[in-house]
Structure formats: structure tokens, C-alpha cells
Amino acid sequence: MKSVKKKLREMLNPNLLDIGECNLHKVHNAFGTGLNSFVADVELLVMDIYYFFKHAVHSSQLSEKPKDLGIPEHVFLRLVSNRWLTFQSSLERVLQQFQVLKAFFQTESGARPTSAVLQKR
């Protein structure tokens, strides 16, 4: 591991910060602390979107929107809270589909999302 750090310092930047051996957990914890500064709970939002569109009725209503907007249609990814590496891909999918979500909730008057906390997961 020391040789990898040495090579990185030589190739990229001699001032790289050494955050230890298990750096992914530290990066995740720092990212989570940053998320806590938001008023809204981002993880809960991602889960709410997944569970809302898991229902066939909502999913079929949503499937028309990407075609109208010229955006590729993708399903939302399930966020597994104890598998923290799924958060990035789940959030990226929500961001990719943001215009679709916006159009859906602006036009579907009967669409009332509920919190995933209230639903069985």
C-alpha cells in the first residue's frame, strides 16, 4: 500500500492528503456528514421516488414522459441503506431523470408521493 501511495504522490500531487488505509469508509462518513447539513433528507427522497414508481400505475404514467422530453427512459434504482455504495448510483439516476420527474409531478394532479418510511420495504 505504501508503494501505491508513493506512486500517486509522484504521479499526481506530492501534497496528497493521507487519509489512512480504509479511506472509502472515511469518505463515506464525510459525505454523510455533508448530507446532514441539508434541510431535506436526500436518502429518504431517493427511496421515496423508488417506492412511488415501483407501483405499476405510476410507472406506466411515467413511461410516457421521457419520450415527450427526448430523455432516455430508465428505471429508478433501489437504495439499500446498509449497502452504502448504492447511494451514488441511485442518486445519479434521480438526477438523470430530474426533468422527467418534474414534468410528471407538474402534470399528474393525482400523484401524491408518500414517505417510504410509512411503506414496508
pLDDT digits (tens, 9 = 90+) for 90-112: 999 999 999 999 999 888 766 66
Domain that holds residue 93: 40-121
Same domain, 29 and 52: no
Split into its structural domains, the chain has a count of 2
Average pLDDT over residues 60-84: 84
- Positions of E strands within the chain: none
Based on the fold, state whether residues 75 and 114 are members of the same structural domain: yes
pLDDT band, residue 115 (cuts 50/70/90): low
Cβ–Cβ < 8 Å for 75, 46:
no
Phi, psi (deg, nearest 5) at residue 66: -60, -35
